[in-house]
Amino acid sequence: MTKKLFCQALWKFILGAAVTGMLIFLPAGTLHYWNAWLFIGILFVPMFCAGIVMMFKSPELLKKRLNAKEQQTEQSLVIKLSGLMFVVGFAAAGFNFRFQWVILPGWVSWAAAGVFLFAYLLYAEVLRENAYLSRTIEVQQGQKVIDTGLYGIVRHPMYSVTIVLFLSMPLVLGSVFSFILFLLYPVILAKRIRNEESVLEKGLEGYTEYKRRVKYKIIPFIW
């Protein structure tokens, strides 16, 4: 662990929490939006704990996760569309609460929070299994094909988990409109996966054989 890495991680955490809060609470017009506080709690408390663990046990992995500068030109549009989806989706949830358009029952939000936390555990397991995981598409020096654990079921378990995470977010916020917007994520993800697999096939030894063994990308028996 270095002081620079600690400061970088802390800054990104604070900035992420502040921006997320503004995107939700400003459209809501109030801080008395319990769904939003629940969402911020289940998102950022585990994130903080995971960051602390990685900082001491796997600083290199943390460094990779903090690096969001995509090297693949084709992925720039994917990143921008994902960012736009979050901005519009969070704002829609805030406006939905403010004007009471369609409010989901409280039990839906709590159930979605449980699903979100379970997906977070799977997220941690994927990080444990694959030390090469980065937020950008690249083949790293010394990288090997991981085919154990969740990687023996689907080729991109991290994306499987993020679909569950992202689709549960608007339900925690109690917004049907946001949920509809977040349904765009699997469509955006399909483009990213196509490009990623092309890069891995060209640059990662054994990946083509791995694709033959593990047929499904993110959803067993479906996709």
Half-sphere exposure for 140 (CA within 13 Å, toward CB): 15
DSSP string, 26-48: HHHTSS--HHHHHHHHHHHHHHH
127, 186 Cβ separation under 8 angstroms: no
pLDDT (0 to 100) of residue 135: 57
Q: How much is the pLDDT for 113?
A: 98
Residue 127 pLDDT class (50, 70, 90 cuts): confident
User: What's the mean pLDDT in 118-133?
Assistant: 85
Lowest mean pLDDT among 6-15, 16-25, 40-49, 57-66: 57-66
Architecture of domain 3-213 in this structure: Up-down Bundle (1.20)
Measured CA to CA, the distance from residue 6 to residue 14 in angstroms comes to 12
* The pLDDT of residue 89: 97
Mean pLDDT of the chain: 88
Q: What is the pLDDT of residue 9?
A: 83
**Under 8 Å between Cβ of 21 and 40:** yes
pLDDT category of residue 38 using cuts at 50, 70 and 90: very high
pLDDT tens track for 58-75: 777 777 666 655 555 556
